[in-house]
Amino acid sequence: MELNEARLVLKEDGDLYWYTIFHQRVTLPEISTEARVVVIDVNENVIVYSNNDFIEKIETDEGVIRTRYFLKRSRIQSKIRGKQLRKKLLERYKRRERQRIRELINKAKEVGATVLVMEDL
């Protein structure tokens, strides 16, 4: 893994946080020309799936939804002081967000996807 960014952040309450972001390159295997590829970029509001014969686009609100969850998690982490309550609330939103991702994967299965490509397109 390669270090991309690191910074020390002082919060208003006096706590210090160390943020570190790593990147890792991966090599994808060869994909046959018969494969039905579904491309998902969860940061956007569109799902595109295709093979050599067609490209289809599905409009979603996924980018807006993920941004909302990100903002909710940030508020919970900064404002909720009770560790148990904070953990419970964060788990609830984590579960809901995973459910949204599962919905995207189920749509890919419906169109007979044999390969899923996600993120960093």
Confidence of residue 121 (pLDDT cuts 50, 70, 90): very low
Structure tokens at 54: 């067609």
pTM over the 0.75 mark: no
Outline where DSSP puts E strands in the chain. Answer: 2-10, 16-23, 37-40, 46-50, 55-59, 115-118
Residue 27 pLDDT: 79
- Residue partners of 34: CB distance under 8 A and separation at least 6: 51
What average pLDDT does this structure show over 85-108?
81
Residue 39 near residue 107, CB atoms below 8 Å: no
- Residue partners of 91: CB distance under 8 A and separation at least 6: none
Residue 78 pLDDT: 86
Residues 82, 40: Cα–Cα separation, whole Å: 36
What percent of the chain clears pLDDT 90, i.e. is strictly above it? 0
What average pLDDT does this structure show over 104-116?
79
The alpha carbon dihedral of 100, 74, 8, 43 has a sign of positive
- Residue 74: C-alpha distances to residues 7, 44, 100 (Å): 17, 20, 19
Q: If DSSP codes are grouped into helix, strand and coil, which group holds residue 115? A: strand
**pLDDT tens digits for range 38-77:** 776 655 677 666 655 667 677 777 667 777 878 888 888 8
What average pLDDT does this structure show over 88-97?
82
